[in-house]
Amino acid sequence: MITDRIDAVTRIPADCLKAAPPLPKSVKIEISPRCNYRCGFCALPKRRTQPKRDMDFALFRRITRELRAVGVEEVGVFYLGEPFMGARLLVDCIDYLKSELAMPYVFLTSNASLAFPDAAEACMKAGLDSLKWSVNASDAAQFESVMGVSGRMFHWALKNIQAAWELRQERGYATGLYASSIRYDGEQQAKMEALLRGRVLPYVDQHYWLPLYSMGAFATEREAQLGYRPSAGNQGRIDALREPLPCWSAFTEGHITAEGKLSACCFDATANWTMGDLTRQSFMDAWNAPQFVKLRRAHLNKDVSGTVCGKCVAYS
């Protein structure tokens, strides 16, 4: 199940608890850095300039060929943006990973609003192993307040979640369908649970809860306006929380932006955690670049003051 894979990534094994760990088995690549939502808890809207270009397919092919050659077994065709913003490129990337590289596991997370049946089916047909929906609002009113866009997209997302399930059932695709949600408090949590029971759980193989992440402390002002208090860093899912330090993101999973930059942070919407440039160097060189080794050493010492991670709410 999807939670087994998530827990395997967020749990740092003993052989990875070092400043220069072995290469990760899982890497996320930002096919599209764009998003049609403006979520109050997300760092993406904090970018000074919103990106307009998706990843170059030639760059994607070069990077993923190298990843497969060095032993990467899982590739997420998303990072922070919404992958269905570039649906044609997304399908091409999945097809390349599965048909050309025989990548064992290809996965993505989507807000579902643009995953219309034709696009979702194309991903399944190309061999996508896991498609996870992010469902974080209980009704159109909350959706507009938190996601910052028209409530019509709330209804689009729910219809697309159901349609993807029906397509898979009808045509026998092997793609796993999953969903995650932020765990709120009190009345809001009860509303979320009611929505999930009626509109999401019947159409997924598994659902799990997440804490409200800090997104590297970039969204804290908006979070305060919305009345939310984020958890420390990225501690994984609710039922298998990890300690904030050392942060697994810097040790067990690679994160590559649409521009080909390797980041140390799973929430790096502003290029603050760039550790290497894969347009100029190999993934292997960037993964254990001097600046990355230095940052991991601070994490292992559980003292990131004075580093790029120092302002994260996890350590404040």
Cα 30–chain centre separation: 9
Cβ 55 vs Cβ 7: under 8 Å: no
Q: What percent of the chain is modeled with pLDDT above 90?
A: 76
Strand locations in the chain, DSSP E?
Answer: 26-29, 74-76, 105-110, 130-134, 176-182, 206-210, 253-256, 261-263, 274-277
Across residues 196-204, what is the average pLDDT? Answer: 98
pLDDT in tens, 17-70: 999 999 999 999 999 999 999 987 787 877 767 777 999 999 999 999 999 999
pTM of the model: 0.92
Token readout for 94 is 């999945």
What CA–CA distance (Å, rounded) separates 31 from 95? 13
- Is the Cα torsion angle 34, 69, 272, 7 positive or negative in sign? positive
Q: What is the pLDDT of residue 39?
A: 86
Which is higher by pLDDT, 89 or 241? Answer: 89
Cβ 264 vs Cβ 253: under 8 Å: no
